[in-house]
């Protein structure tokens, strides 16, 4: 089976072949609105089922904003939910040859130094509670030992220094 993130080899089809005729029956009509809706539903469904005692109590389907797939960067459609204080949740389906499709929920939290963000992939509800316990002590910021030891992703909205 081919990994969907790898470029597919597309054979040249005879227009009269059965596969070409089947392809003609279906279109590429998967609209951006449908991608967003599907991503929002998948995120809400995963959170409700896997995080029912925590996130499932505070986030509903309307709290998710779907994002369309990005073909050039080979990113699948996803959804994000704003938690306030600079924290976000990001949900996507990771599809691989080995694992099939699996939900990936990531908490995105600001760095304590204010220069960027850290992403923390959540494995389960206990993992979430442990991470939230640590973040509560720091006001929702991910600490690091020294100001010059920041390994976060740069904040795209931060002013540049010249």
Each of the 162 residues of the chain gets a pLDDT tens digit; together they read: 444 445 555 556 677 788 877 877 776 667 889 899 999 999 999 999 999 999 999 999 999 999 998 876 677 889 999 999 899 999 998 877 887 889 999 999 998 887 788 899 999 999 999 999 999 998 999 887 665 667 666 655 554 443
Q: What is the CA radius of gyration of the chain?
A: 20
SS3 109: strand
pLDDT at 92: 94
pLDDT at 60: 92
Give, as one character, the DSSP assignment of residue 125: H
Residue 117: strand pairing partners: 110, 153
HSE of 96, CA atoms in CB hemisphere, 13 A: 7
Do the beta carbons of residue 87 and residue 118 sit within 8 Å? no
Do the beta carbons of residue 37 and residue 53 sit within 8 Å? no
pTM for the full predicted model: 0.74
Phi/psi of residue 29, nearest 5 degrees = -90, 20
């Amino acid at each position: 089976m081919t990994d969907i993130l790898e470029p597919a080899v597309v054979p040249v089809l005879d227009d009269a072949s059965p596969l070409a005729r089947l392809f003609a029956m279906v279109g590429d009509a998967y609209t951006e609105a449908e991608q967003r809706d599907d991503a929002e539903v998948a995120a809400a469904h995963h959170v409700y089922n896997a995080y029912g005692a925590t996130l499932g109590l505070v986030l509903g389907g309307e709290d998710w904003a779907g994002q369309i797939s990005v073909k050039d960067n080979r990113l699948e459609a996803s959804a994000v939910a704003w938690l306030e204080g600079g924290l976000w949740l990001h949900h996507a389906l990771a599809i691989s040859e080995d694992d099939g499709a699996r939900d990936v929920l990531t908490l995105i939290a600001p760095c304590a130094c204010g220069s960027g963000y850290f992403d923390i992939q959540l494995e389960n509800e206990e993992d979430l509670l442990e991470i939230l316990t640590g973040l509560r002590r720091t006001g929702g910021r991910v600490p690091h030992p020294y100001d010059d030891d920041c390994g976060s992703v740069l904040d795209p909205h931060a002013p540049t220094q010249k």
